Structure 1
Amino acid sequence: MACTSLKLAGWVIAAAIVFGSVGCNRSREDAHAREVATRVRTEFLHAWTNYEKYAWGHDALKPLSKTPQDWYGQSLLMTPVDALDTLILMKLDKEAAKAKELIVKNLSFDRDVYVKNFEITIRLLGGLLSSYQLTNDKQLLDLADDLGNRLLAVFNSPTALPYVYVNLKTGQVRDAKTNPAETGTLLLEFGTLSKLTGKPIYYEKAKRALVETFKRRSSIGLVGSTINVETGGWMDADSHISGGIDSYYEYLWKCWLLFGDKDCQKMWHASIPAVNKYLADEVRGELWYGHADMNTGRLTASQYGALDAFFPAVLTHSGDVARARRLQDSSFKMWNMHGIEPEIIDYKTMQIVYNGYHLRPEIVESTYYLHHFTHDPRYRKIGEKIFEDFVKYCRVDAGYTALQDVVTKAKRDEMESFVLAETFKYFYLLFAPPDTLDFDKVVFNTEAHPLRRTD
């Protein structure tokens, strides 16, 4: 009995040492993560204060020339609206209050300009809705409702698929040649607006566009790159997960999560097996996603890039963590080729196809999702490496700037609003304490605007 008691005591002590050391390691990791989060917040402020200094009231800052830029010749306050929820989440209260005041006093959509429905929806409509949910300032919801109402005209095509451009004042539309991302990445925003305003038309129009896109998939389950909204016919059979298709798949899954819409769940489950069967490509024991013909499934190009790097996040979110881990390893390999990811590479030859870097968020987004779901400290280490490279090569006197060439690190005079809306937000959330944002109560739109369930 005494021996047994001594053995038990020994086990208890050993366990205490083991669990104590695990606790110490976790504590050190968390402390370091908080330090990195503080650094991210400081660097975000560097970008934001220079926007305030050189481009206040305009859509964006050009950080090399220190000049403002407006998308359509007149400002729609793209950067303030896109960045407001980041300011709020980072508890930059003074800056957030100043930005919100600018928005509610100066933002008007009564403009005789043609705007791109997709970009305006994800950046402005999404930004206004998330900021309304974080602040409960009804002026933001009123602006979102006004904008949503002006955008509705895009859906007036023979197929119910949206035109690319709409005039905010006249409701005239143009450009029938579009893609699945632009037709299928609207329901999170329009649906949330519908729930918050009690106006079903927003949900109905955006869902119809998503369903009409899905209905036109090929017999093997893939969609193409280009579709005509007037005829409903495909103009390009190139299928992939990159820009032009990417967020179509993202929204099939996320609209099920945010709204509990079982049609979206069914469309996701009908679509993702074809993506994994025909677009996934094993090279050197690595997992990549390439391009294929939507009708035959034949692989046509071994290209992958910065925009494709969103897919590990969606895979993780939908429960396919093993595949997500492998694809994230490939994305990180692409990043490490030159210390900054190129826009597009050929993953078979590991040669650059397009050498620019636009400060994109997708690889950071996937790192955040993988860390959130796996709690694997490796993903914070990856994220810290990406952040250090980002600061090293893209920080300039007046903010952060894109790169013309990731090899030479030649700079490009560009700091899009998504850098503040997405890239910095995902860096921050990766390292910030979990109570910064309750992940399980929100769904991020494709511009990283967190939208809460409303039912």
Structure 2
Amino acid sequence: MLPGMSRRSALRALGAVAVAGGLFSTTSGPVSAQGSWKPVADTVREEYLWAWRHYVDRAFGADQIKPISGGREDFFAEGHSVGLSLVEAVDTLWLMEADDEVARAVRWIVDHLDFDIDAPFQVFETNIRMVGGLAAAYHCTGDSRLLDRAEDIADRLLPAFTQSPTGLPYRYVNLATGQVSDPETNIVEIGTYIAEFGVLSQWTGDSRYYDAAKRAMRVAYDNRTELGLLPHDINAETGRWRNREATIGPPGDSYYEYLWDGYRLFGDPDLKHWYDTLTEAILARQAERRDGHLWFPQIDAFTGEVLSREQSVLAGFYAGLLAESGHVDEGRAYHDSFSLVQDRFGVIPTFVDYATMSATRVDNALRPEFADSALMLWLATGDEVFRERARTHFENMRATSKAAFGFASLSDVTATPPSQEDTCPGYWWSEQMKYYWLLFSDTPRLDYRDNYLSTEANLLRGARR
């Protein structure tokens, strides 16, 4: 059952000036804490609304816009767009006080969004994006029709949990028939539900959502190795590990994030105990200092042997999570390490080998994790360096990813100039532009003392209507 609520760590009111130089901005030349960040916030909003207007004109209701050609593309299932980018954008538009555009998006959801789709949808992605996006839209607007849509899609995802003999969800479920498929999964895809499902349980009084999410997290935790670590791949039908590798990057990252978030949102002592136990093991067994910088290699969860020193750009979120959960020094140190990568490449590659500081996968799909952790660390420490780094992140994205009809993923950040791909992921509308906005503006629509952003940056607590 859902425990009583616990307070989220506070956000403070924000405020300094960003300067971009050349193709890439750098963090040299500190910005005064007494300056005004308003020009940066204004630019963030202008760029977001510019991209939104192109989406409305060329791809409204599509999952994603193609920012180079102006075309449309589906995300979940071919021929079945569910307005992914639109749903992801609602709470960001609301925070930016673009109320006419919020109303436009809500009308589309109410009039056109229908989840009775005879096709398999990935359960994890559908939850963090669609359940979370609709829940955030409801939280911000108070429109109960949006809660109805969130509850509808969550109900369609539940068979992935209830038809599993272990409680670990299958990867896919047919939204129309409830047929489940693919038990070969990972800890991210079985353990990233407690925030979205938990608020649904709070708002509807239906504990099925929270109970299903927590049960899956428990199964993985109970199967930790003697070193206290979790391999990342698991079979949903047997509950047995399918590999030996432990990582704080994908596909392990948001399992740890949601243990902490579940505790902070709902005050569940089990989740805090599980998080603390696993974090102690990660810091003891996985953390590695190299040339004075903190990294987290992939290791054998059973022996502790280092398997790879590749670091994913997605792992950058962990710096913020460490800071939020009281490990501020480690969080700062890990963000320092990613800042080195940003300074070297301008845009952080998807994978780097930190032993050689070389890119091993040179693309970047508009990844937001560095900005996410910059926000969390600035809030935890008050140190302006984190806003400066986020300003650099924004300016470099703007310089390299802006295309004719929106912002594009990059296929090669090492090229001059970096080469673009004709795709803009739906999470761009929910994540990094929101992180920038909260870093550089002082929006009256957010309770800076009590709020919560999900792994997809969906605002599930703290809206001031």
With normalisation by structure 2, the TM-score equals: 0.90
Q: Taking CA–CA contacts closer than 8 Å with sequence separation of 6 or more, which of the two structures ends up with the larger relative contact order?
A: 2
Structure 1 partner of 2:60: 56
Q: Distance in 2 between matches of 1:160 and 1:172?
A: 16
Structure 1 partner of 2:456: 447
Aligned AA (1:163): Y
Aligned AA (2:124): F
Asked whether the equivalents of residues 58 and 77 of structure 1 are also in contact (C-alpha less than 8 Å), the reply is yes
Aligned residues: 431
Asked whether the equivalents of residues 79 and 420 of structure 1 are also in contact (C-alpha less than 8 Å), the reply is yes
Q: Distance in 1 between matches of 2:82 and 2:16?
A: 49
Aligned AA (1:430): L
Question: Percent sequence identity over matched residues?
Answer: 38
Q: Distance in 2 between matches of 1:31 and 1:95?
A: 31
Worse-superposed segment, 435-444 or 66-75:
435-444
Q: Distance in 2 between matches of 1:370 and 1:453?
A: 19
* DSSP 3-state at the match of 1:115: strand
Q: For the structure 1 residues 30 and 166, does the alpha-carbon distance in structure 2 shift closer, same or farther, using more than 3 Å as the test?
A: farther
Q: Distance in 2 between matches of 1:135 and 1:149?
A: 22
Once superposed, which parts of structure 1, at least 4 consecutive aligned residues long, lie more than 4 Å away?
27-31
Q: Is 1:422 matched up with 2:434? A: no
Q: For the structure 1 residues 158 and 422, does the alpha-carbon distance in structure 2 shift closer, same or farther, using more than 3 Å as the test?
A: same
> 5 Å matches for 1:109-120?
109-120=115-126
Q: Distance in 2 between matches of 1:95 and 1:279?
A: 45
Q: Distance in 2 between matches of 1:294 and 1:281?
A: 15
Q: Select 2:37's aligned residue among 33, 47, 59.
A: 33
Larger Rg: 1
Structure 1 partner of 2:26: none
Asked whether the equivalents of residues 320 and 372 of structure 2 are also in contact (C-alpha less than 8 Å), the reply is yes
Aligned AA (2:454): N
Q: Select 1:149's aligned residue among 155, 164, 169.
A: 155
Q: Is 1:137 matched up with 2:143? A: yes
Q: Distance in 2 between matches of 1:170 and 1:413?
A: 33
Asked whether the equivalents of residues 429 and 436 of structure 1 are also in contact (C-alpha less than 8 Å), the reply is no
Unaligned runs of 5+ residues in structure 2 are 1-14, 18-30
Q: Distance in 1 between matches of 2:460 and 2:61?
A: 25
Structure 2 partner of 1:394: 401
Q: Select 1:165's aligned residue among 163, 172, 190.
A: 172
Asked whether the equivalents of residues 16 and 37 of structure 2 are also in contact (C-alpha less than 8 Å), the reply is no
Unaligned runs of 5+ residues in structure 1 are 1-22
Asked whether the equivalents of residues 278 and 299 of structure 1 are also in contact (C-alpha less than 8 Å), the reply is no
Deviation at 1:439?
Answer: 3.9
Q: Distance in 2 between matches of 1:30 and 1:122?
A: 37
* DSSP 3-state at the match of 1:234: coil
Q: For the structure 1 residues 383 and 348, does the alpha-carbon distance in structure 2 shift closer, same or farther, using more than 3 Å as the test?
A: same
Q: Distance in 2 between matches of 1:434 and 1:386?
A: 21
Aligned AA (1:160): G
> 5 Å matches for 1:36-115?
36-71=40-75, 72=77, 73-115=79-121
Aligned-residue RMSD, C-alpha: 1.7
> 5 Å matches for 1:151-230?
151-155=157-161, 156-230=163-237
Deviation at 1:70?
Answer: 1.1
Deviation at 1:372?
Answer: 1.4
Asked whether the equivalents of residues 16 and 34 of structure 2 are also in contact (C-alpha less than 8 Å), the reply is no
Q: Distance in 2 between matches of 1:367 and 1:415?
A: 22
Asked whether the equivalents of residues 259 and 453 of structure 1 are also in contact (C-alpha less than 8 Å), the reply is no
Q: Is 1:295 matched up with 2:299? A: no
Q: Distance in 2 between matches of 1:445 and 1:165?
A: 22
Deviation at 1:440?
Answer: 3.6
Aligned AA (1:138): S
* DSSP 3-state at the match of 2:452: strand
Q: Is 1:249 matched up with 2:256? A: yes
Deviation at 1:426?
Answer: 0.5
Deviation at 1:30?
Answer: 6.0
Deviation at 1:91?
Answer: 0.6
Deviation at 1:436?
Answer: 4.4
Superimposed CA distance per residue, residues 329-366 of structure 1 (whole angstroms, 9 cap, x where no aligned partner): 11111112221100000000111111001001100000
Deviation at 1:277?
Answer: 1.5
Aligned AA (1:56): F
Q: Distance in 2 between matches of 1:437 and 1:323?
A: 28
